[in-house]
Amino acid sequence: MTKENFVVVGASLAGLRAVEAARKAGFEGAVTLIGAEEHLPYDRPPLSKAYLEQLPDGAGPASTIFRTEEVLREELGVELELGAPATSLDTARKQVLVGGRAVSYDALVIATGADARTLPGAEGLSGVHTLRTLDDAIAIRRALEAGARTVVVGAGFIGSEVAAGARKRGLDVTILEALPTPLVRAVGDRMGAACAALHERNGTPLRCGVGVTGLQGDGRVERVLLSDGTAIEADLVVVGIGAIPATGWLESSGLRLDNGVVCDATLWTGVDGVYAAGDVARWHNPLFDRLMRLEHWTSAAEQGALAARNALDPESARQYLTVPYFWSDWYDSRIQFVGVPTADEIRVVDGDLDADERWVALYREGDRLAGALTLNGQNVIMKYRGLLMKKAGWDEALAFAASRRTSPVSSS
């Protein structure tokens, strides 16, 4: 059947790549991009990194917008429906409802991403923010420029980047983490502690094993109450405690929802014409033979493009198999990870976790290399991604690591 209407819900990176891919594939029908925010599609990683940095001479941050409205409308021929979220999906009629209006589709890509988890008790208090959108970043940057005493709740990657940015400005900042060790789900206990040590080295207080019991303030946050009975004075509270897939609008759609929109290896939802991509998609990754949902820039871009091509030509649909990859910038260091963190063994193969500013750790699952984590290992991380892509064995990975070793390995 000839497709005439291609609709993408979510003006995200994945959504943008989807509409671009549709045109590159030669699709000449109508393309509609629906987005909840009024902003054009923009790049999110810089919002917790470069966007918050103090620039010389009071310069403002660079724009993170990917494409101008002129390019989207005139060059790509995209109908932009921004500033109102999709409210439901009728798969029988093949319509996306935006408020009371219906947008018909022949092929649909869902790319609504994820929403930041919020902190109970923050309602009605200004100065308390998550960091998921451009508007969030603008508000946090203004507070940092005003010299706000800052408390970051959650020592994950986003929270740690915000804390590092505040510390580089010379501000009073404290990080709170409810777990005994940060980043356990992302990189494991030992390596989470190794990453967290960067905060101590840069003079940023990190308090683990303590929860937030409440916030106080008269219209604006003034202090954070903790589970150990203490309190921290604060002008700015940034909450970085994870995100939830934005699937609420799909509850009555008939799609399978389980920590995201569940898809097969081609990003197909099992419903005619409907595919998903980006943070909202939980798909079967053949390379690791498991369901995955990734909140990573690289996978969002790749999934958006492939989902569009598969939706428009399902008979030629290709599987999406990838080695997950993410990076995070703290202070003057870069943390990078490829693969999956589930491991039977984690071995440091280069450097000393306690003393060096550069190290490499490998993750083993069975007799196979499962992942690699580096601190300032930009010259080697993609080599390990290549090994993972070809399903390299553990012995092969160790041999490669020995050939690349730059410093003695810690015995701890």
pLDDT per residue as tens digits for the range 134-168:
999 999 999 999 999 999 999 999 999 999 999 99
3-state SS class at 185? helix
Residue 287: predicted pLDDT: 95
Residue 52 has pLDDT above 90, yes or no: no
Q: At what angle do helices 381-389 and 394-404 cross, to 10 degrees?
A: 160
Long-range contacts of 23-28 (CB under 8 A, 24+ apart): 23/76, 23/77, 25/308, 25/309, 25/312, 25/313, 27/3, 27/312
Mean pLDDT for the stretch of residues 214-235: 95
Residue 373 has pLDDT above 60, yes or no: yes
- Look over the chain and give the mean of its residue pLDDT values, rounded to a whole number: 94
Phi-psi region of 264 (alpha: psi -120 to 50; beta: other; left: phi over 0): beta
Secondary structure (DSSP) of 38-68: SSPPB-SGGGGTGGGSPPGGGPPPPP-BSS-
Identity at 198, one-letter amino acid code: L
**Band of the pLDDT at 58, cuts 50, 70, 90?**
low
Residue 342: predicted pLDDT: 87
Q: At what angle do helices 157-168 and 189-201 cross, to 10 degrees?
A: 10
Residue 412 has pLDDT above 60, yes or no: no
Residue 393 has pLDDT above 70, yes or no: yes
pLDDT per residue as tens digits for the range 284-306:
999 999 999 999 999 999 999 99
Angle of CA points 300, 301, 307, to nearest 5°: 80
The DSSP element (H or E) to which 21 belongs, if any, is helix 13-24
Q: What is the DSSP letter of 410?
A: P
Identity at 177, one-letter amino acid code: E
Identity at 42, one-letter amino acid code: Y
Residues in Cβ contact with 187 at an 8 Å cutoff, skipping those fewer than 6 apart = 195, 337, 341, 373
3-state SS class at 295? coil
- Give CA–CA dist 397/364, Å, rounded: 9
Residue 301: predicted pLDDT: 96
Mean pLDDT for the stretch of residues 190-203: 94
Residue 312 has pLDDT above 50, yes or no: yes
